[in-house]
Amino acid sequence: MFHERVPETFQALPTSADRRRSVWSALLPRRGRAFARIALSSSLALADIAAILAVILTVEFGYQVVFAGDSIWVTGFRSLRLAALLGAIIVATNALREDYSLDGIMAQKLNVQRMASLWLVAWAAVLVVGFLTKTTNDYSRIVSITAFLLGLPALLATRAAATRLVRRSLVSGSASASRVHLVGYEEDIARFYASHEADQLGSRIVGTSYLRRVDPGADTVSRHDQLQEDLDLAVSVVRFLRPDDVFVLVPWTDTAEVERCIDAFLRVPSALHLRPGSVLDRFPDMQVARVGGVSGINIGRRPLNVAEIVLKRALDLTVAAIALVSLSPLLAAIAVAIKLDSPGPVFFRQKRYGFNQQPFGVFKFRSMRADAASAVFKQATRNDSRITQVGAILRRTNLDELPQLLNVLKGEMSLVGPRPHALAHDRSFERRIALYARRHNVRPGITGWAQVNGYRGETLTDLDMERRVACDLHYIDNWSIWFDMQIMIQTIVSRRAYKNAR
């Protein structure tokens, strides 16, 4: 058993007494550290309050300047009252959800959907309170609507800036960073260092205890004694260094050793963590979940929960219905042009895999000659001779996809999602690309994150498809109603959405 202190400058204690004291001072917890962490967390809450207050005061005073209403004192008191109620709801909710915790700030990115939902709830609460207290008439509708519209962007921008400043202050060597001690076999600890940059950890590794590999030929008693000796020494070091967290990096396949480590480090006043090899790096959002009376490690939730499915379906039905009605003259004109350009049907229908790999017939405007379209599937290529003149225009402008609005109304597709591929492509790529079939965990879409990033058209190599699949999986893992709206807007206005269209 041996121990190591990091950073490397601490691995050998200097001979000078003053310098030795400075090294131990850096390793041991500092008195003002708790206050520093509280101050940093509080700064995030204060930033939220400041953003809300600034928006409401600016809007209220601007309204009074333009319309010359109440006095500045009445206006100021009224604004403070509204800002205090909104701020109290938002700060209290975020505090209960631990959104202001420093460890959470380091581990998570800014969640726009969560903040937007909280902003809506806060304003709903303001309306309820105003109704119950009969104070709704105290506020101008112009002021209220403007503050509602401007408040969320201001809150997001302020939180992003404050979070960035906090993260910069939580470098691995700062006094306020979490103090971590590592325990495990040498190769596992080396792998941990190799996969985590020191300045990106958001914590200070103040000690490392290496466990010795037990000789396979040793008897049971000797193996037990050796591990116990290592653990006793590690526990002593942890008690001396007093870290916030102890990470046990012993592989979970070594069940007996893991159990012994748990028993040993539950006796020290530090948070205890187990890291099952590289699994946590692959699934960073895994958590312990309970289903009925059974507990397990949840490495992935359903792509969309019930509320999200209902919300997405409502958006699909609303936009698809409006689009079909408003675009009906264009659809009729395209149908006439196809008929005049070449003989054959207006629509082309082909089997594709949808949600949960259930086959369905996708509608498209026919862009190839009727005899070519009915032949055995062959992916369209640049300057494909089978494409008609009208079909070439439809493909370049993405107008050939418009009939899929019917698939959306039927519930077979969504407006936004992974694009459905031909069955032959699905079967081929599913065997060659990892997690390809995961694209079918949501409804396919008329457009998607891959398409607006230019990953569409002919797939000449597996790398082309891997890039497309990576975008699709990013969409599934980061879905929000705002993300759908962003993709729909980019489909129309972004240049990349028309890239490789043919």
Tell me the domain boundaries of the chain.
33-169, 171-298, 306-498
Integer Cα distance of 415 and 502 in angstroms: 21
Share of the chain residues as helix, strand and coil, in percent rounded to the nearest 5: 60, 10, 30
Q: What is the DSSP letter of 420?
A: P
pLDDT value for 10:
42
pLDDT value for 315:
92
Integer Cα distance of 129 and 226 in angstroms: 66
Strand partners, 208: 4, 182
Q: Which fold has domain 171-298?
A: Rossmann fold (3.40.50)
CA atoms within 13 A on the CB side of 68: 0
Q: What is the mean pLDDT of residues 193-214?
A: 75
Helices 306-326 + 481-493 axis angle, to 10: 30
pTM comes to 0.57
Q: Per-residue pLDDT tens for 246-296?
A: 999 888 878 888 898 988 888 888 888 888 666 666 666 677 777 767 777
Residue 247 φ then ψ, to 5°? -105, 120
Q: What is the mean pLDDT of residues 186-190?
A: 87
CA atoms within 13 A on the CB side of 358: 8
DSSP notation for 67-128: H--S-HHHHHHHHHHHHHHHHHHHHHHHHHTTTT-HHHHHH----HHHHHHHHHHHHHHHHH
Confirm if 388 and 363 have CB atoms less than 8 A apart: no
In Å, how far are 218, 223, 227, 357 from 215, measured between CA atoms?
Answer: 5, 7, 11, 50
Q: Per-residue pLDDT tens for 44-98?
A: 888 888 898 888 888 888 877 777 666 666 666 777 888 888 888 888 888 887 7
Strand partners, 297: 288
